[in-house]
Structure formats: C-alpha cells, structure tokens
Structure 1
Amino acid sequence: MSRITSQLARSPLWRIRTEQLSFEERVSLSYERCKSVVNAYQLTADDILNLSPKYWAFHGDPIHIMDGSVGSLLAIHFNLCLGTLATYASKRNDLTTLLEKMLQFEIVGQFCLTEVGHGLDVINMETTATMLSSGDFMLNSPVKEAAKYMPPTAPCGIPMIAVVFARLLVGGEDRGVKPFMVHLNDGHRMNSNINCKVLPPRGGSSPVKHAITYFKQVCLPSSALLGTPERGKDMRASFFRSIHRVFSGTLSMGAVGISAMRISSYIAGRYSSRRKVIDSSTGRPRAIINFSTQYIPVLTSIAQTLVLEAFSEIAHLLFVEAKRDMYRQHFIATVFKATTLQFALSIPVVLGDRCGVQGLSKVNQISVLHADMRGAAIAEGDVLVTSIRFAGEVVLGRIQPPPPTDPTSVLYRHEQALITELQQLLKSHSNHRNPEFERRMLPQCQALMVAIGLRLAYESALAANVDRRILDLFVASVMKLDSAWYSESVGIARRDQQRMEVDCATALLPELESLLARLDVQDYITAPIVSDQSWDAFVDSLQTLPVGHAEQGQSWISSRL
C-alpha cells in the first residue's frame, strides 16, 4: 500500500547521509525533516484530540524510524503539547491562532512534566506557580531537583512554547499540579529567566537536543493557566486528568515499536538473501538465509511484526472506545506498549547479530533502532512501572482484560495461569502492600502485561485472517518467553517447542520474498547492505585517502642507527 510519506522518504532531504554531520547540523536537519512530515500529513486539531485513523497512521508511519529524532520531536509536539492545548481550546478562543501555527509547525511545542528529582513520582514535583494579587503567576524552580528534565527546549530556529506543569500555590495553599502555557524562546534566544542547559547526546540513538530547563521567577499572565485554579476534590485524579495525553503517548510508542520491527526485519531479510558464503560440501556459493540460524530469527521477526500489526488496529479501537474512561485507556495502552516493546527491543539485537559486523554500523540502521527503542520503552511512562501499576489492578480484580474470543486457546490459558498464580500468592499474605508479596510479585508484572497482550495480538491476527502459518510461528516463538510453563502445564516438552519453531519457520521460508514485501517499508530503507547496488553506491560515496609515492617493499621506517 502507498503511505502518505512514501514519496517524501525517497526525497533528497531524507536521503542525506548523516554520519559525517556535526551534532548541530544533525539536529537542524531533524527539524527540517519534521516540517516536511507536518506538511505531508496536514493534521487537524480534531485528528489529534480524537485519535483519528489518520492520526494513528501518522504514529505508525515508518518515516519516524528513518530519523528517530523526528519521531520524538513530533510525538512531543503533536500528542503531548498540542493535544493538551486542544483539550482546552473549546473554552479558550485565544488558543485558536496558536494551534493553527502549531499545526503548520510555525511554532514548536514542548511538554515539561518530569523533573531532575521526580520522574516516576512526578506527582510530587517541586516546580511552583504562585498566584499573584494581580491574578498573574510566578513560575519558579525553587530547588535544583525541580529543573525540568529532559525536553529539548533549546532554540531551534523556530519559536517554541511548552506546556509546563507546576504546583499551583494560592495564598499559601497548595492547589495541586496544574498545566501552564509558557513561551520558552523566539527560536534563537531563551526568554528572560528561563535557563536551558543542553545535555550531551544519549549515545547510539538518533540525536535530540535534550536539556535541563530552569525557571527563575518567570512572570506569566493569568491566561497561562490551562483550566481552573480550583483545588480538585481528588488531587490524584485531577493530576492524571491533566496529563491524560501521556496515555495516548503510551499507545503511540507501541506503534513506533512496530515500525522498528518492520525495518529491522526487512533489512536482515534482504541482507541474508544477498550475502553468500562458499558451501564447504558443494564448493558453491550459498545464501546465508538458507541456514536455519538465519531464517528462523528473520521469519520469526516477520511473523511477530505482522501479528502485532493486527493488534495495533484493535488496540487503537479499544483505546478510542474507552474515551470516557482514562483509567482503562491507560491500561489498554500499557498492554499494547509492553507487548510491542518486548519485541521491538529484542528484534534489532537478534537480527543485528545475524548481520555480523554490518549490524554494528549505524549506517545500516539496526543498531540505531535498538537505541531509539530503549528510549521509547521509557518515554510516556516507563514500561516496567506502568506494568507494575496495572498488573496489581488485574490481580486485585479492579480491572479486567478484554474477554477472550477463544477461552480454550493456549495463550489465554497462559494469561489466566499467571493471574491465578499471583492471586494465590496474594492470598498467602496479609494484603497487597505486604513487603514479601511485593518482592515476589513486582518482577512478574511486566510478564503478565505481555501475556495479556500476546493473547490479544493472536486473536487480532486471527480475526484479520492472517496466514495460519504465520500465526503458528508466532505462537511457537512466544512459547520461549515462558518455556517451562508450556512444558509443565500444557505438556509440550522443550524439544517439541524447538521443533515447532523450526518446522513453522521452514514452512514459511519459500514465502520470504512475499513476506518482505508485506512489511511495506522498502521506501524507508537507507541501509546500504540490502542490495549490491546500494552497497556499491555507498562505497563510492566514501572518502578515498590520498596515495603516497613509496613503492611496495620500500623501507619507510627511518633508521636511528
């Protein structure tokens, strides 16, 4: 199928080799690319606010993986900042012009929530906004731990605003955490009393100019407050309502993960098909894809990608259907993200290794994808911590996973077994806050979220009529995540599990070409190892060092005798 950005991905702007660019040049290029993606999609505020199919396609677009910096910047800009502002726009006509400029990327949006001293416990943030007698506010980072960490707030050539979260103080009373709209810079210089310290690059990932941001008695107009200054009846609930765009961000990180799986699988599949070794038994060249150590991981990754692609559509639907229940939305998003990141983190490592030394080079994309996915796992809610939150709720019966379409399926049985085990563990302790129960349960929480997601993914793919052979390989591959349970409880011995995976992958090997085409990412590949033509072009582009005049065998070491 043709994607909105297929032609853009082949344009000169997106084919620039970035390996030799300086950090500043690389960052500048990413903002230029952001603008090109914004122009291609022409999203509306309604798209973003209601998570329209077009907006969901935007998050699943592989162009965000071609340059992970673009994916990060636009996720912050559209989902977090613009999405938050759009929530209040119906009652704030003064926001209309601002939103229009942001939709055209004429103003860049940031989202300043977490602090140096408060990440996962950001509800305890220390940034303050004190209401003055005039009705205006004084925004302040009272201690060094209150500095906002780590939105890229440095000037980028385009004016920048941020939704900044701060504890509202009125007459000495703490009214809770509230969002404020703050103008950060004019694109060239930071605004008065806003200090930005640019952090060193993360290392290995696509470059984003992350920063630490301090507010030193910044005077804000009364209109800067988004929402009301009243204290919420339930401070915790009010806080989560104010940061609700983080939940859709959790969901979108899963979509980004699937794009990383697509591209990694395609590159490794193409490379393995063209890379040949001399077969010692025949003396003839043999493509390495014909070795089971190569085709099993490649085909397994493709199967996992195609199954999770089907899950992506169902997860989006479930999320939108729960729009009046933010708590359930966050649960659905957590299950989807935990499941996709399980594979988005492992696939680039496994397939990168199968590409040998070529897999280490950032020019071949895979190693950078892994580093970018590490960031995605933490962004919009650390996947482990959100899993802990909702696994506990499932065990306590406070939230129910979507019902199964087939209660006899082995993946549903596995999901239920994990829940039952944890419920029995809970019964053996006084309550769910018992330290011993906590020690034993916490390490199992993410596995439970993934188990729920694997079952939903399988059911989604089954409903979407995904090839039975792909489904079989998917099930065989995910059994390895808890091999002992399938042996103990289902009676599938370890050797039989291994045989299932080998047989399923072998059956799919003749379909490799069509499966690679189904990944639909050829326009987004810049790795030169996918074809002889692209490799030759890459080598020709490299600098050739000057040749000296010394003859072979001529001594070039000066004697000191």
Structure 2
Amino acid sequence: MTATIDSPFTERSTELLTAVLLGEDHHREHGFWRRLIATEPFRRPDRPTTGQRLRLAYDRLRALNDGLVHGLDGDVDDGLATGPDGGARLAADPRALAALHEWLGPVDPALTTVAGIHYNLFLGSLLDHDGPGRRDLSDFLRLRSTGTFLCTEVAHGNDAAAIETIARYDRARDGFVLHTPHAGAQKFMPNTSPAGGPKAGLVAARLLVDGADHGVFLFLVPLTDAERPLPGVRVRRLPARMGSPVDHCLTSFERVLVGRDALLAGDHGRIGDDGVFSSAVGNRRRRLLASIGRVTAGKISMSACAVGSARATLAVAVRYGVHRHVSGPRGTGQVPVMAHRSHHGPLVRAMATVFAMSLLHRRALDHWEAARGDAAETCREDAERLVAVAKGWITWQARSVIVECRERCGAQALLENNGMSALLTGVEGAITAEGDNLAIHAKAAAEMLLAAEPAGRAVPSGGEPGELSDPRFLVGLLAALERIWFDRAGRRMGSAPHGDPLARWNAASGPALRGVEAHAHRQAAEAFTDAAQRLPQGRAREQLTWLQRLFALDRIALGSGDLLAAGYMTPHQVRELPDAADRLIAALVDRLPELADAFALPAELLADWPIAGEGYVDAYDDPEAAWHRNGGGDLATVAAERRER
C-alpha cells in the first residue's frame, strides 16, 4: 500500500481532479472559504458543553461576517467581493453560498446552520423580494441582529401551504397582526432564542385581508433583544437535538403588530395604499412558492454541506487506513490495515460515490443557475427538480459514506475530537432540512411519472452489443434502468382503480421512487462523462474513468435482473459484474491517497482530527505515565520504532 505519492506528474493529476470536483475556477470560487476555515477562530477548540459550543457557533458567525466586511489577512484575490455589503453580495451569489456550506460543513455543522439561515434564507429572501435599497439592512449586514427563518410549524412541515400562523391586515393601524391560534401552529425552527444576540425573523404566515385568505407570505418580525423575546413573542427551547448545539425552538406570537413594510411584497402579492390586496399570481400555492423561493438555494446548500462533510470524513479514513498497522498474514509482520481488501474495498467504493456526489452537485448547481435567467418556465421547473433529486440522493449517500468511514476507523472515530460523530448527526439535519428527502423525491417522482413517454424498450446509448469496460454502455444501462422503473410505475398506476388518486399513487410510488434514484445515478454518471471529456489524456482522466465505471457497475448490479430480463445485458455480463468491480478496486486502492489529496482540504483542518495524522497515537500520550520514566520499556521502544517506520 502506497502511503504517499509525490511527483510532478501526480501533482498535476491531483490539480486536474481538484478542478473536476470544485470547478475550473476553484481558486476564486472556493479560495475565500478554504482560507477562512484555516484561520484560528475555526480551529478545533476544547468546548465540552452544549452551551459553549453554541456560543462558539455565533462567535464564528461574527468572525465569518468580519471576513466578508473587511476581507481576510493577506493580499489574495479570493474571488469574493468584500466590503460593507459583503453579506448582501454573498446572499446574491448562489455559488458562493454553496461554497460556504461545502467548507463550513466539515468544520462546524452548527455554524453552517446559522450561517445558511442568515445569509440565504433571511438576507436572500429580503433581497429577492425587496431588491437593494428598499430597506436598511445595515443591522443584518453588520450582525448587530441575526436573521432567522420561520416556516415549519409543529403540525405542518412539507405541507407548508397549510401553515396556520395568521397575519391579519389591520386597516386602522395600517399594519399586520401576527397570531398563533393553537399549539400546532407554533413555529418549529432553529435559532430564534436570544443566544448569540438580538434576532429578527422572516415569518411565514397566512395573509388575511377583510376576512379573505390570500395565502402564505413572509413578514419581517423582530423577535428578541440580547436577553429575552420581545413583547408578544414567546420562544421556548426544544429538547437538545442529537449532536447539534443549535438553539432549536418553538416560537409563537400573541397579536404582535408589525408595520405595513413588514410584508415581503412583490408581483405575487402586495397591499396598495388603499388597503386593497392585489396579485399577479392567482394561485395561492404559487404565491407560497414565490415567497419561499430561497428554499431551492437551500437545497443546493444542503447538497454542498453533505458533499464537503463526506469528502472530509473519507480523507481522514484514508489517512488512518494507511497509518494504522495490524498483524498481516503469518510470516508477513505488520501491514497497514488498508492493505486488506475487506478494509479498502468499501473505501474505494466510497471514493467513487463521493466523486459522483460532487459531480452531481455541480451539475445541479450549473443547471439551476442557468435556468434562473431562462424565460421558459419548464426549464426552471426541470432545473429545480434536478436540484431536489440531487439534494435527496447526495445527503443520503453522505450518511452512508460517513457511517462507512466511521466504522473503518473503529472506536476512535466515535470520539468527538475526531470529528466524524458530529458530521454524521449534521448530515441527518441536512436530510430533513429544506424538505424531507422522501417527500421531495416523491414530488419529483410524481412529476416525472406524469411527464414520461409511453412504456417501451429504450436502447442503451452504448449500442448493442456493449462492453462493461465501456462507460458509454454503462451510462446507457443506467438510463435503461430509469426507464424500466418508470414504465413499471406507469403500469401499476394504470391498473389501480380510477377515481381514487391516493390508491393510484400508492400503487405507483414504490417503482417511481426507484426511478428517481435511477435518475440520480444516470445524471451522476453523465456528469462523470462530461468531466472526463474536459480532461487531457493521462493519469487524471484514467482515474476518473475508473471511478465512473466502478460507480456505474455497483448501481447496475442492483438492477441486473431487470436488465437481463429486458434484454439489455447477457447472462455472461451479469456474472461478470462482481469481478469487473473487484478489478477496478484493485487498480484504485493505491490511488486513494492521491484521490483524497484532490479534495484540497486545508492542512489546518486535517490537523484538528487526531486520527488523520501519522502520529495519531501521540494524541493519547500520558506525560505522567511509566514509559516516560527511566527510558520507558521494551514496548515503548517498539512503539517508537513503529512510528519511525
């Protein structure tokens, strides 16, 4: 097992793969955040209590914001425009928001949560609806007040159109009265307590004008000062959430009056000077979607957070696997644990998955950013659907990768100071945030099922016959699997009783959801192809193609029976799948350190995870122990010699 790879040739390959993962202009897109997390405020401190960790998250948020306002030390073009309105520039830049989550996620999941809410959901919504200049945002840009976002209620999560918090227009006072009518309408959202200083929130509430319900809109509402909730606002801390110190709360309102300008108005709805409501959008559901449009950027950010966390965890697991020695077969002495196929096989597969996650994330981000300027509504809908599919698949895959890496690192990875346990609980939050994964995949499945062409056999793009060594053929098989699952869903829906929409959906939902999963696999495999075509012939392209083939083979194996039955694969190819995957694992194992280096993780970040270092045993040393007296003993000498090796 090769521990390190050091040559100009492989350094160039690593740089090329970094550009594949982070973008060709990654120094500008990611440079600010990579430098930020390497600074002292973001190093791992010893903060044992939940309260101390929560204070640290807000302290870091201020350090981040100071960097946006004043820049970071050193004359470096990080590609992020800093200055007094640095926070607003960040909120208006979807790539910068994604990069924020990609790099902060592995460092501090709690910080990532409060930063994402403040800059994307809060500031971003204000800018989207009001445009620059309508409001004085200086308190929020200087973090004299932190922004929160209150949409989910105890009784309403994914069905946000049904939320029950009320905002009644008061003609006499020309303002809105916010009220929580019952326990189920309490807001069930993070960070609305006074922790970290004064807070203001964008509250999703049902707009009532003269008794008429016009749907859900956002209202800017001051929530707390530095010590307590403001009059009429009730905030209660929820029980501690697994792994997270964020101040998750129940928030309710007792006839809180806010001014006319509290409403985030726009074409989707406004109150005129005459007190009359008007809207260019006749559908209340579409008004809601216009109000909470920042949730799409939030989905992209959740994908980015999951990608960054999975990459960091895998990089640590690879390093630990090289440094940790165990007894080898009889007569061979000690070998790195990574030398065993049972150990490195799952990590090589995780590497293929993490590259797929990264490429799908960037593909979804590119499509969505392009669609934002497209006048065609169908283009925007397709891009938003890809964002939703990617968010669900990527965050689920991140959980699997982090669990696998944690297990490969044994008991030490359960300790908080080795970072993995916090990232596992952090990705659980991403799975639920901005729409529960199953719910958003179910919505995508229903849309894709209704849009599907009539059932019929598709022809793999690689042509017939195909070879398992041909990436084009493998991508074609993934496309065939997607078609098979949606055809099956269509047949099931057609056989269900007409006139019972729920029964029809229940009959189709299982295979339709498998179709969405297959769609994610195909999109990721196509993203591999696009990335490989941009690389010159050589080591980097070879490695990327191997990863693509391994990723595709593992997903094809799950549906090989269907592909065989439909005539897309031969019996010989089905039997060959495990051996083809194993050969790729054998070819890639010695490349794992090089591939992990392509993640471009700052040395300071890795230094904060003891098991990432070759001398990880030193983190557990006891300066008062016997081995430090009288020259130690035989076992201490053996340990020292092993470290030297």
Same fold (TM over 0.5): yes
- Structure 1 residue 148 and structure 2 residue 187: aligned? yes
Question: 1 CA distance for matches of 2:244 and 2:336?
Answer: 32
For 2:207 and 2:483, the matched residues in 1 are separated by 44
Matching residue within 61, 67, 71 for 2:112: 71
1:547 aligned partner:
none
**1:157–1:188: 8 Å Cα contact kept in structure 2?**
no
Could you give the per-residue CA deviations for residues 230-249 of structure 1, whole angstroms, max 9, x where no partner exists? Answer: 26511111111111111121
Q: Secondary structure at the residue paired with 1:346?
A: helix
Q: Does 1:4 find its partner at 2:46?
A: no
Deviates more, 1:315-324 or 1:137-146: 315-324
* Residue identity matched to 2:360: F
Residue 294 (1) aligns with residue 335 (2): no
Q: Distance in 2 between matches of 1:278 and 1:296?
A: 18
CA distance in 1, matches of 2:564, 2:143: 54
Query: Does 2:222 correspond to 1:183?
Result: yes
Shift of 1:131: 1.1
Note the 1:316-335 alignment, pairs <5 A. 316-323=365-372, 324=375, 325=377, 326-335=380-389
Q: 2:100 aligns with which of 46, 58, 68?
A: 58
- Cα distance in 1 for partners of 2:432, 2:310 equals 18
How much has 1:213 moved relative to structure 2? 0.4
Alpha-carbon offset, residue 371 of structure 1: 1.4
In the TM superposition, residue 422 of structure 1 has moved relative to its aligned partner by 1.2
After superposition, give the CA deviation of every residue in 1:509-536 in whole Å (9 maximum; x if it has no partner): 1212211111222533332111233441
Letter of the aligned partner of 2:449 in structure 1?
A: V
In 1, Cα distance between equivalents of 2:121 and 2:195: 19
Counterpart of 2:257 in structure 1 is 219
Match of 2:593 among 513, 535, 545: 513
Matched with 2:92 is: 49
In structure 2, distance between residues paired with 1:480 and 1:102: 51
Q: Do the aligned partners of residues 172 and 399 (structure 1) sit closer, same or farther apart at CA in structure 2, a change above 3 Å counting?
A: farther
Which residue identity lines up with residue 586 of structure 2 in the other structure? T
Question: Could you tell me which residue of structure 2 aligns to residue 453 of structure 1?
Answer: 520
2:133 pairs, out of 88, 93, 116, with 93
How many percent of aligned residue pairs carry the same amino acid? 25
Structure 1: which amino acid aligns with 2:423?
L
Say if 2:45 is the partner of 1:17.
Answer: yes
2:316/2:611 contact within 8 Å kept: yes
Deviation for aligned residue 1:264: 1.6
Counterpart selection for 1:119 from 157, 180, 187: 157
What whole-Å deviation, never above 9, does each CA across 1:232-291 have from its counterpart, x for those lacking one?
Answer: 511111111111111121122111111121012111111111111112412500111011
CA distance in 2, matches of 1:431, 1:397: 19
Take 2:190 and 2:300, find their aligned partners in 1: how far apart are those partners? 20
* Residue type at the aligned position of 1:327: E
**CA contact 1:300–1:474 (8 Å) conserved in 2:** yes
Deviations 1:363-411 (A, max 9, x none): 22222222111110110011110111111111111799xx999475211
Residue aligning to 1:414: 481
Distance 1:434 1:60, change over 3 A: same
1:120 to partner: Cα distance:
1.6
Q: How many residues align?
A: 534
Instruction: Please say if residues 432 and 438 of structure 1, whose CA atoms lie closer than 8 Å, have aligned partners that are also in contact.
Output: no
1:157-176 matched pairs, under 5 angstroms: 157-176=196-215
Give 1:199's aligned amino acid: L
**Cα distance, 1:15–1:45 mapped onto 2, change above 3 Å:** closer
Contact 1:194/1:216 (<8 A) preserved: yes
SS at match of 1:197: strand
**How much does 1:468 deviate?**
1.3
8 Å CA contact 1:426–1:432 kept in 2: the answer is no
| CA 24–421 in structure 1, closer or farther in 2 if over 3 Å, else same | same
State the partner residue of 1:503.
583
Matched, 1:366 2:420: yes
1:527 pairs, out of 609, 612, 629, with 609
Q: Partner amino acid for 2:248? A: H
- Aligned residue for 1:136? 175
- Give the Cα separation in 1 of the matches to 2:501 and 2:401: 37
Query: Matched residues in 2 for 1:353 and 1:542: separation?
Result: 29
In the TM superposition, residue 435 of structure 1 has moved relative to its aligned partner by 4.0
1:44 CA drift (Å): 5.0
Q: 1:488 to 1:72 in 2, by over 3 A?
A: farther
Does the residue aligned with 1:165 lie in a helix, a strand or coil? strand
1:297-316 equivalences in 2 (<5 Å): 297-316=346-365
Matching residue of 2:62: 35
Counterpart CA distance in 2 for 1:530 and 1:334 is 33
Confirm or deny that 1:198 pairs with 2:237.
yes
User: TM-score, normalized by length of structure 1?
Assistant: 0.89
Please say if residues 387 and 445 of structure 1, whose CA atoms lie closer than 8 Å, have aligned partners that are also in contact: no
CA-CA distance at 1:358 after TM superposition? 2.0
Helix, strand or coil at the partner of 2:358: helix
Q: Report the Cα distance in structure 2 between the residues aligned to 1:135 and 1:34, rounded to whole angstroms.
A: 36
Residue by residue over 1:176-219, the C-alpha shift from the partner in whole angstroms, topping out at 9 and shown as x without a partner, is 1111000111232211111110112212x232110000111111
Q: 1:345 aligns with which of 375, 399, 420?
A: 399
Contact 2:191 2:247 in 1 (8 A): yes
Check whether the contact 1:407–1:413 (CA below 8 A) recurs between aligned residues.
no
Structure 2 residue identity aligned to 1:284: G
SS at structure 2 position matched to 1:182: strand
Q: Any gaps of 5 or more consecutive residues in structure 1?
A: 545-561
Matched AA of 2:308: S
The 1:194/1:235 distance shift into structure 2, 3 A limit, reads: same
Q: How far did residue 495 of structure 1 move?
A: 5.1
Which residue of structure 1 lines up, in the alignment, with residue 620 of structure 2? 539
What aligned pairs does 1:245-256 form with structure 2 within 5 A after superposition? 245-256=294-305
